[in-house]
Amino acid sequence: MKLALKIAATLGGGIALGLLATWLIAIRGGMPGGVTDGPWHTSLSIGSASGDIYTRASVAVHGLLALNRSETIYYTAFADDEGNALSGTCTYRVSGNDPDARWWSITAYASDDYLIPNPAERYSISKNAVRREMGGGFIAAVGPEVVAKNWIPVTAGNPFSLTLRLYNPGPGVVSDPVHAQLPSIEKVSC
């Protein structure tokens, strides 16, 4: 009886520990090959066929069916320029000039990685749909309150993240995604 208990504890403890390590490293852990450009994070391993089982598992969890970076670069921001976590209670000013790409978009996602419900059914701004300033740049508002121009709605009280997609990025961005000219994310009010 005592032996059976020891076997059960060893087996159960071993399986639990193994799965916990997988959860911590491959599911909760960030993407391998991660780099940052201001508030924007990207991974150089997205969309690549890698022989490393850890890289492949993380990409499957965080970037399933993503394209490689010569086709598309995906940057994600979880915090503003100051490094504070993005909160749906605050309003942010996302501004800049067009990143070097054939087409770009900025989309807001809830913490479950899906689009954020809102009555206006607005989820993103993009290169061709964004309304521009005199100099050609753009200013968007990300927050819970209705804004007439370039508004990306988020839910008050909930954390969120932004994904910047660059389709057919310029060669400079592909070779050096850390120094690309990307929009800034400034907190305006809370």
Partner 1 sequence: MKARETLVWIATALAIAAIVHVGSVYALPRFIMSRAMAAMGTPNAIHHGKRADSDSRGVVRPSPDLLYSTCPYDLSKGPLRVHAAIPAGTYWSVSAFDANTDNFFARNDRQLRTRTFEFVVTGPGPGNIPLPPRDEIVISPTAKGLILFRTLVDSEDDLARVDAARRQATCEIISLSAPSSSKGG
Interface segment toward partner 1; rule CB under 8 A; list 56-64, 86-94, 131-139, 172-180: 56-64
The closest of 67, 66, 43 to 55, measured between CA atoms, is 43
In whole angstroms, how close is the CB of 128 to partner 1 at the nearest point? 5
Only one residue has tokens 């799965």, namely 19
CA–CA dist 105, 183 (Å, integer):
11
User: Is the sign of the CA dihedral 35, 41, 46, 52 positive or negative?
Assistant: positive
Q: Candidates 82, 114, 134, 157: give the one binding partner 1 (CB under 8 A).
A: 114
67 sits near partner 1 (criterion: CB under 8 A): yes
CA–CA dist 42, 74 (Å, integer):
6
175 sits near partner 1 (criterion: CB under 8 A): no
DSSP-derived 3-state class of residue 10: helix
89 sits near partner 1 (criterion: CB under 8 A): no
Q: Candidates 47, 143, 177, 183: give the one binding partner 1 (CB under 8 A).
A: 47
In whole angstroms, how close is the CB of 18 to partner 1 at the nearest point? 3
Interface segment toward partner 1; rule CB under 8 A; list 24-32, 90-98, 138-146, 177-185: 24-32
158 sits near partner 1 (criterion: CB under 8 A): no
Residue 180 · residue 119 · CB < 8 Å: no
15 sits near partner 1 (criterion: CB under 8 A): yes
Q: Candidates 88, 165, 177, 183: give the one binding partner 1 (CB under 8 A).
A: 165
Binding mask 91-110 for partner 1 (x = CB under 8 A): -----------xx-x-x-x-
Q: Per the structure block, which two tokens stand in for 157? A: 């009280």
CA–CA dist 155, 122 (Å, integer):
12
